[in-house]
Chain A
Amino acid sequence: MISSTLILCVISLDSSGASVVGLANTSITVAGSKADLRGKIPLNELGQEISAPPAAISISAEDVAWDAGGVIKVSWQPAAGTTSATKWIVERSEVLAAGQGAGQGAGQGPWTLVAEVPIAETNAVVSKLSPDASFFFRVTAVSPNGSSAVTTTKSAATGHWNFFIGAKLPLFCAILLVSACVIYFILAARRGRPMKVRRIAALEAITDAVGRATEMGRSILFVPGIQDMDNIQTVAGLTVLGNVSRTAAEYDAAIEVPTSRSLVMEAAREAVQASYLAAGRADAYNADAIRYITDEQFGFVAYVSGRMVREKPAACFYMGCFFAESLILAETGNSIGAIQIAGTAESSQLPFFVAACDYTLIGEEFMAASAYLSGEPDQIGSLKGQDVAKAIAAIIIILGVVLATGAAIAPQGAMPAALEWLKGVLGS
């Protein structure tokens, strides 16, 4: 009969030289002892260690700098022989002020699991902690044979608030750069500097589409996407709606705007009413033509598709944020022979619109539509600023390609360092 001895008691050395003796989840410290008993860990018949793994030698916790607070990095030093374990368990305990604890005195809260990390790793970033609250951390190695003794931080750590989130610095700089370009060209346009914008066929076709609907005596359908007013694409869609409805008012064509959000319905009504007023056709404005259907994606599509098949609008505009419904709408519009103009910044939906619509505003063209249609120098100037920012982005991309190619060809030269520097600057 084969028998084996199971010893649950493991001993390892911590950073102070004291031995930490663990029995399951309990631990005692033997001060001053430096006896190494790891050699006495019993093995099974296959020569495998069958006792619990040794505890971490030391553990520390520090605040992560330049963050939004509530993030602490916990690091520990594993003892030799920890490789038999499968993972580390990291727990935290909040430092309680007087009156918060069970005994109503200052002390520690209960231990809560915050992370489980692979055994090869020696640190964990603990986030979503209460900012400016202090915590103790402890770590335990876990193996199929049991858990090591716990190793606890000697002092509490606090995830302090910082003035600025450092990880977002490249994004902040990029926004400042683009904003500076846009504002500079807006001011330049105000000073009378001529701005040239290339012709956008889809926007030029708006007048033709509205004219066609007028000639055919049919309505115009405008769908401002399926998202709410907190989506910039919906706002961009409404800016186009203002222009389309103004043209429709001038041509005396009926316009219908089904919406999938109540707030969008109200905003669309304001936009269309203002356009009818501006065109001197306030009497022709019909608020009921701009109606709320449902928030449900496919319920909305079912209504709009059915409406298209029954009413057969001569012109269909899809301007906003769309998802899977984009192709259903565009194909239905195509089947009834309507002239279709779409615009979205959802890159995954662009191929569907390109395939099924007559004209498609691709991404930035859609965002530029309002400025283009207004013809105002201020807004055209902003497009110029956007172009300059795009040129800067192109230069950075070319620089990155050259450096990456150079680093691949000559890995020992200066190129890899330059590439790493560029990556660091861009925050990638």
Chain B
Amino acid sequence: MKRLVPMWIAIIAGFVMLLSTFFPITESLGETVGEIFNVVAAIAFVLGAGSLAKVNLAKISRRDQGWGYAAITLICFTITLVVGLGKIGVPQSTQFPLLGWSGEKDAEGSIFGWIYEFALVPITSTMFALLAFYVASAAFRAFRAKNLEAILLLSTAFIVLLGRTFAGVVLTGWLPDWASGLRLENLSVYIMQVFNTAGNRAIIIGIALGVTATSLRILLGVDRSWMGSGD
């Protein structure tokens, strides 16, 4: 029963979503399924927050290595939750001035909005900025000319890289018009539009077929491993 009920819920919800894509009469049913998912996800958030609190509290109580970070996590979580739910510092809504708590939680001047603007956004931007260094280190490893394939990859990457900078224009700008196809900026466009697009589309077609087959396996109840064992 523990496996059967979720499986049937998935099968019914899946077929409703599929039919609502093609048959307008079932469109509202599809929207209802989407809304039910949102409600379930919102309820599950309580479980997620509970898990976060439990794991970090256990770490603090055991004085595990790095328990201070767990304490900071919990303090930040609690502060954000309180100022968000309590709408602390939120100016009253001009639309509903007589109603308490009618302002937007992240309105200008609110503490929640301040935390988002001046703490979360800079921190996430910092993490995103690290990506540039990771790209450099990954590219260094990927483009080492170890064999023929790696040499081809390196050469192609070099052409595309140069073709997208002014250096490419300067290096091959002297080529006459009849050989303009060999200019780096044109070669770069050709590689991206022909070879790259062809390869990308092949992968996308494979993914589309894979998604269809996987969905069908789940909708028909053939694949139940997403619920745990296949039994």
Residues of A whose CB lies within 8 Å of any CB of B are 67-69, 131, 161-165, 168, 171-172, 175, 178-179, 182-183, 186, 228-230, 232, 235-236, 238-239, 242-243, 246, 259, 261-263, 265-267, 270-275, 277-278, 288, 291-293, 296-299, 301-302, 310, 324, 327-328, 330-331, 334, 345, 347, 350, 352, 354-356, 362-368, 370-371, 374, 376, 378-379, 382-383, 385-386, 389-390, 393
A302 and B214 contacting across the interface, CB-CB below 8 Å: no
Beyond A165-B24, A370-B226, 19 additional contacts (C-beta under 8 Å) are: A69-B24, A178-B216, A232-B211, A232-B215, A262-B41, A262-B51, A267-B226, A270-B227, A296-B124, A297-B124, A299-B127, A328-B130, A328-B134, A345-B207, A355-B141, A362-B206, A364-B210, A374-B223, A376-B230
A379 and B222 contacting across the interface, CB-CB below 8 Å: yes
Q: B52: which A residues are within 8 A, CB to CB? A: 291-293
Q: Which of B23, B137, B216, B231 has the most CB of A within 10 A?
A: B216
A178 and B209 contacting across the interface, CB-CB below 8 Å: yes
Judge if B120 is at the interface, Cβ distance under 8 Å. yes
In Å, the complex CA distance between A376 and B55 comes to 37
Contact among A161, A324, A328 with B24 in the assembled complex (CB-CB below 8 Å): A161
A393 and B209 contacting across the interface, CB-CB below 8 Å: yes
Least CB distance from B58 to A in Å reads 7
A242-B210 contact in complex given A165-B22, A228-B41, A379-B217, C-beta closer than 8 Å: no
Q: A175: which B residues are within 8 A, CB to CB? A: 18, 212
Binary interface encoding of chain B residues 98-141 relative to chain A, with 1 for a CB under 8 A from any of its CBs, else 0: 00000000000000000000001001100110110011011101
Closest A residue to B40 by CB, please name it: A263
B47 and A262 contacting across the interface, CB-CB below 8 Å: yes
Interface pairs (18), CB distance under 8 Å: A161-B25, A163-B25, A182-B217, A235-B226, A238-B226, A239-B223, A265-B51, A274-B229, A275-B229, A288-B55, A291-B55, A298-B123, A327-B138, A345-B207, A345-B210, A356-B141, A370-B223, A379-B223
In Å, the complex CA distance between A390 and B141 comes to 33
Contact among A168, A242, A365 with B226 in the assembled complex (CB-CB below 8 Å): A242
A243 and B225 contacting across the interface, CB-CB below 8 Å: yes
Q: How many residues of B contact A (CB 8 A)?
A: 63
In Å, the complex CA distance between A352 and B142 comes to 9
Least CB distance from A134 to B in Å reads 18
Q: A267: which B residues are within 8 A, CB to CB? A: 226-227
Judge if B213 is at the interface, Cβ distance under 8 Å. yes
Q: B134: which A residues are within 8 A, CB to CB? A: 327-328, 331
B128 and A363 contacting across the interface, CB-CB below 8 Å: no
Least CB distance from B160 to A in Å reads 12
A386-B210 contact in complex given A239-B223, A298-B124, A328-B131, C-beta closer than 8 Å: yes
Q: B204: which A residues are within 8 A, CB to CB? A: 347, 363
Q: A68: which B residues are within 8 A, CB to CB? A: 24, 27
A364 and B225 contacting across the interface, CB-CB below 8 Å: no
In Å, the complex CA distance between A179 and B204 comes to 18
